[in-house]
Structure 1
Amino acid sequence: MNRSSKTAAVAGTVVAGVLAFPGPPAAALGGELWGTATIAPGREGILDIAGSAAAAPGATVTLTAPRGTRVTATPLDAPGYLGRVAADGRSGTYTVTGAAAQSWQGRTFPFVLAVPADAVPGTRLRDCVLRITDADGVRQAAGRCAVTVGLAGPTLTRPLSGVPLDVRPQIAGTAHPGARVTVRDKDDREACATTAAADGTWTCTPRPALPAGANRLQAVATLNGVSAVSEQIDISVADTGARQ
């Protein structure tokens, strides 16, 4: 698989949650290029760049990757555009090869970025640069892009779904070290909260007690202004009469 043809694989991973919190759709601001994304450490995510003015054949839009990241694919699958990734991953390009120039305006250009595993959640990555050049390499437009390091989603490893529980079951899971983890029930009430340890594990016990009956739990992790959520688990709490 070459670097510019990872469309199916990347699209699948994005749907599965590679982007902890996807950025809003890109939008051209005053005719310039613009894009935004939030990508968790050690993950890949798509940075969508909005098109600018109409362009002639041979025009090229170039993304210079933010410091520490790499462009790994240019997955736009549309006739009239040729995507390329630099050998060192520092940049990616789309070049108009034909009649597609007429539909350049309003087009979004997806670039797949890989964020290093040691990136700090909440950090705004620097040196993300956009530009459009004509067939002779003369700059026609420039733009900005914002890539923020997000959080990988926390997990809930206990309790097990479908196992009858007492009113104060131990709740446990994993999250980014140092993240504040809050567990909420089906009514969005806080069940318990704690901070993930250096090894990424966390545990907490509901207080007050969980109400008897069917319920649902979900963990929310927050660190440095960015958040991520776990999958929900269904639980059943026995009525033991203990309420404190």
Structure 2
Amino acid sequence: MKLIGVSEQFLVLLGRENNDQIHRHYDIQLQIPTSSMIINGKRTTDQVLIDSNVKHITSFADGDMLSFLIHPESRIGQNIRRHYFKSDRIATAHLPGLVEQIKVIYESMADLNRLKRVTHTILDRFIIDTSDLQQLDDRVTDMLNCIHSADLAHLQLADVLNSVHLSKSRLTHLFKNEMKISVMRYMTWTRLFRAAQSLVFSNASITATAHQFGFADASHFSRVFKESFGYCPKRLVQEKKTTVSFMF
């Protein structure tokens, strides 16, 4: 599969790929087959949503697939988790017309604005009313703002905690309670998405990118990146010249 889009909330890939090994990713996966796919031994033509860290095997009978890898703690991720994973951590949806829209994506590779618009339209169909999503505690919002505005190469946990006047233990508990993820894990996830953007939109090497976003070395960065996305940074760099990529 090839990367066609990247943002701080999700990555988008398009193409054909078989993975007959049991695997899991930190991201939430939305898989939209153009024909049929086999998930954990069961064939389906429906769209499949897989929650974070759920073991699965995916293979395809024929056709391509549009795949979203979504930050679990993003607003999109929270919405999907709340509305689709109530009884099962692998859910299906049956929304008509998506195959035709994927065909439009192929036709729009030379028109970035149209490509962006169609991709957003597809993802928006899976988003339920967001009015009931819980508003974050102001102190958690301050911590998020600190992370998002910081130089990630040098950002330390202490910097984030010191941005709010509350004890370390209370802050870490508050953040995890609100975000369902530790502060450190959120920082790592933010680094990964920023690094993915940099690899797509700049000519920086994998080693330079690793250091730029606070990873010890290229090996550590590559390992964490693949664990999170199931996609190697090296492959991203190799394919970006033939992949239409854009920021959402």
Sort the TM-score into its range (normalised by shorter chain).
Answer: under 0.3
**Scaled by the length of structure 2, what TM-score is found?**
0.25
More helix by share: 2
Which has the larger Rg?
Answer: 1
